[in-house]
């Protein structure tokens, strides 16, 4: 690419593809064919996907799978997952099956409160600002009445508005810290609309406040935006059973339980381990969040902030053995929606929600938390028994064989061969070459 392009977003889709293919790739004809190969054959479905974002060229496929046999609060679920990682769905499915005859998973909603803030600079007397805020607080709520009326009819709305003084961090820095209940909607647009109106009302009212000096009247709103840190939008998922029910091959139940608890304890105190431990949890969570059309980046950011809430980054899961009972649980913030956004547009998102029996946002929070807990159980179980590579590399075997250009017959023979052999890139390459020479 030798020169920048002007007005790219205004080009037609075909023109955008021509420009990218000719300016950025070595074989423009092959590039165009590849992009077109991933278009949906139904023009209307493709048009729908084209309009999700700007400058769409094609569709980027991820496998859409289900992990069956999840027993959650006495109900059976097959959990949809969209992810490229080979072992995630298999691990979740194995964990679901493991806990199926032990009572399954139990979940509890601990809160559903979401947060937004108006960040502003006020140079003046803090006491006068506090008095001013208390005076205008009813007016702030009145100013968003047209925005909140439909949400309030459904039982949601604004929970609270408070003034927070953060001038110890940045000179003159204050916040309107606002909490919301958005029910089955993730609520980003609702929250941001309320916050922007709060900001306008704050500035307008300050200009006419008689007790303010001219400088104090000039409140500078820096930004108004929801927060993806939602420590009070919280769900707990857990499993438990007598230790002697933890029947694992080649290890006693007692030893397995002790090693499992130790592994989780290590992730609680060692950040290097905690990051990878929690990444495994997010393998399960992100896959369901993505399949159901929710914002996995927002979930990731909020979850990792929560993992640091005590000043050190630590495990999101916990495990204990008390009176012969093994307990394993997670408490995690999840701001999710089942209405609005892609949930009503993307055909596979709608199917995923149907597979989950069209859950409410609270129900989806519980399902997603279970997926994370199941994924973590499977990972830690492997780590303290056979090691992570044995099962992980077997799941990668087909990917490796595809990369090496193996035929269907060769793949079938090598999958059988590696049932009892260690899978590494070198061993697979050697076995394939040997098979091809025979």
Query: Which of the residues are catalytic?
Result: 85, 279, 295, 392
> What number of CA atoms fall less than 13 Å from residue 9's CA on the CB side?
3
Q: Does the CA dihedral 113-116-122-128 come out positive or negative?
A: negative
3-class DSSP state for residue 354? helix
> Which token pair is 357?
């029996």
3-class DSSP state for residue 208? coil
In the numeric block, the tokens 């399960």 are attached to 284
DSSP E strand boundaries for 3-138 = 64-72, 75-82, 106-109, 114-121
Alpha-carbon torsion, ordered 199, 205, 206, 210, to 10 deg:
-170
* Strand 75-82 with 64-72, pairing: antiparallel
Taking 3-state DSSP, the helix, strand and coil percentages for the chain, each rounded to the nearest 5, stand at 50, 20, 30
DSSP E strand boundaries for 57-213 = 64-72, 75-82, 106-109, 114-121, 157-165, 173-181
Distance separating alpha carbons of residues 434 and 231, to the nearest angstrom: 56
């Amino acid at each position: 690419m030798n020169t920048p392009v002007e007005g790219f977003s205004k080009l037609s889709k075909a023109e955008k593809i021509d420009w990218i293919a000719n300016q950025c790739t070595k074989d423009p004809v092959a590039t165009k064919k590849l992009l077109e190969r991933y278009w949906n054959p139904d023009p209307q479905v493709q048009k729908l996907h084209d309009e999700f974002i700007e400058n769409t060229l094609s569709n980027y496929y991820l496998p859409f799978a289900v992990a069956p046999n999840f027993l959650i609060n006495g109900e059976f679920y097959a959990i949809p997952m969209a992810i490229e990682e080979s072992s995630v769905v298999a691990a979740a499915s194995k964990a679901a099956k493991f806990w199926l005859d032990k009572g399954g998973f139990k979940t509890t909603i601990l809160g559903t409160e979401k947060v937004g803030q108006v960040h502003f600079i006020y140079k003046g007397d803090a006491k006068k600002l506090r008095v001013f805020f208390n005076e205008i607080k009813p007016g702030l709520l009145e100013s968003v009445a047209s925005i909140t009326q439909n949400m309030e009819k459904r039982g949601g709305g604004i929970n609270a508005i408070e003034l927070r003084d953060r001038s110890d961090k940045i000179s003159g820095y204050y916040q309107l810290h606002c909490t919301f209940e958005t029910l089955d909607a993730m609520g980003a647009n609702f929250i941001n609309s309320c916050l922007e109106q709060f900001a306008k009302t704050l500035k307008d009212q300050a200009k006419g406040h008689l007790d303010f000096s001219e400088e104090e009247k000039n409140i500078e709103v820096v930004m108004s935006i929801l927060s993806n840190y939602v420590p009070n939008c919280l769900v707990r998922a857990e499993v438990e059973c007598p230790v002697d029910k933890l029947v694992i091959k080649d290890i006693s139940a007692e030893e397995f339980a002790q090693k499992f608890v130790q592994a989780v304890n290590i992730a609680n105190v060692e950040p290097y381990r905690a990051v990878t431990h929690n990444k495994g949890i997010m393998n399960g969570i992100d896959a369901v969040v993505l399949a159901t059309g929710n914002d996995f980046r927002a979930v990731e950011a909020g979850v990792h902030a929560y993992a640091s809430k005590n000043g050190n980054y630590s495990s999101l899961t916990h495990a204990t053995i008390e009176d012969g009972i093994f307990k394993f649980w997670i408490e995690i913030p999840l701001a999710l929606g089942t209405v609005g956004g892609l949930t009503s547009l993307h055909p596979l998102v709608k199917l995923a929600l149907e597979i989950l029996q069209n859950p409410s946002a609270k129900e989806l929070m519980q399902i997603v938390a279970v997926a994370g807990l199941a994924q973590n159980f499977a990972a830690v179980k492997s780590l303290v028994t056979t090691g992570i590579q044995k099962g992980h590399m077997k799941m990668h075997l087909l990917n490796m064989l595809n990369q090496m250009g193996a035929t269907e017959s060769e793949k079938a023979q090598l999958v059988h061969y590696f049932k009892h052999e260690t899978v590494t890139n070198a061993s697979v390459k050697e076995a394939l070459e040997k098979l091809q020479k025979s």
